[in-house]
Amino acid sequence: MLSLEFLLMPFLGRGALFRISSLLVLIPAEKAIRHCLARNGLQNLTARLAPDQADRACECTVRACRAGVGKADLMRGFSVALLALFAACPLRAEIVSAEYADPTARYRHGILGDAIEWGTLQLSLRDGKRLRIVLPETRVFEDTAPRLADLNGDSRPEVIVVESSNDAGARLAVYGEEGLIAATPFLGRPNRWLAPIGAADFTSDGKAEIAYVETPHLTGSLRVVELRGDKLVPIAGARGLTNHRIGDREILSGIRNCGRGPEMILTSFPWQRSGVAEMLAVELTWPELQVVAWRFEEDFTPAHVMAALDCGLQPDYLK
């Protein structure tokens, strides 16, 4: 049974004695808390918690309550203890939106149709705070817009961006409310770029992986990476696919799920301004994580891409 001591002691002070004897599921919140604690390796534990463990235990209860367990549920069973714990746990900072700021012409590339890039990433948090991440003068955000996705399974989004260096080209980077979390290596040469596709749970593990096209005008190399700690680890890739032409202001691609799992909408490399480009639905097989592409009858245009992302168009899965 969850004791009052179990529910309150971790939050009377960091490193407090955290004692679990057994867990009795009486209400939805307790079931969610038990599952969350188990995922974080905090079940059947008698130990003095480190600060990060206490934070994780607190987050488990906050997440359970925020996931849909209302006050009426909390008024049953161990209601007093749960309400006390919920009140004792401050909501951790959560990013609700992100945007680029401080336009700059200091990076001479113009791959997105003009000379203007961005020097700052601005994050808005659920509590109303706003954070600014300012790059050094030797780097810019060379991108259309930041993208939010939960990359570590904690039910809070991280921010996916493209950073470019004067000397080393672009890299994919992930930021949180405390700053840089992880990044791929820079591509190694000035004016080498990558174009994000999006993020989705390709591996069915409850966390989103990031898909992007590396050097979409030179090699058309699809990359899929996952966040592991402070690293972005490649898990799949293929060549011959792209989502951008030099000078286009938008990156034409996206990820959909029309009942088969995540599919990326892309075109074949190279994508020329003359002629017709084929539109492809690209998926990863499971568990092999091999890249498979299916061709649409419709060609690769903004209108057709939007219709495909809305599941209004389907490829021929038999060819």
Amino acid at 211: A
Q: Which of 26, 36, 25, 43 is nearest to 58 (CA)?
A: 36
pLDDT at 40: 59
Residue 317 confidence class, pLDDT cut points 50, 70, 90: confident
> pTM here?
0.74
Mean of pLDDT values over 13-30: 37
- Could you count the other beta carbons within 10 Å of the beta carbon of residue 280? 22
For residue 194, what are the contacts with CB-CB under 8 A and spacing of at least 6? Answer: 162, 170, 171, 172, 187, 212, 213, 214, 215, 216, 223
d(CA 208, CA 318): 28
For residue 297, what are the contacts with CB-CB under 8 A and spacing of at least 6? Answer: 315, 316
Rg (CA), the chain: 23
| 63: pLDDT strictly greater than 70 | no
264 DSSP assignment: E
How do residues 201-256 score in pLDDT, each as one tens digit?
999 998 999 999 999 999 999 999 999 999 999 999 999 999 999 999 999 999 99
Our measurement of the distance from residue 310's CA atom to the centroid of its chain's CA atoms, rounded to an integer in Å, reads: 21
Residue 274 confidence class, pLDDT cut points 50, 70, 90: confident
Tokens standing for 220? 């058309």
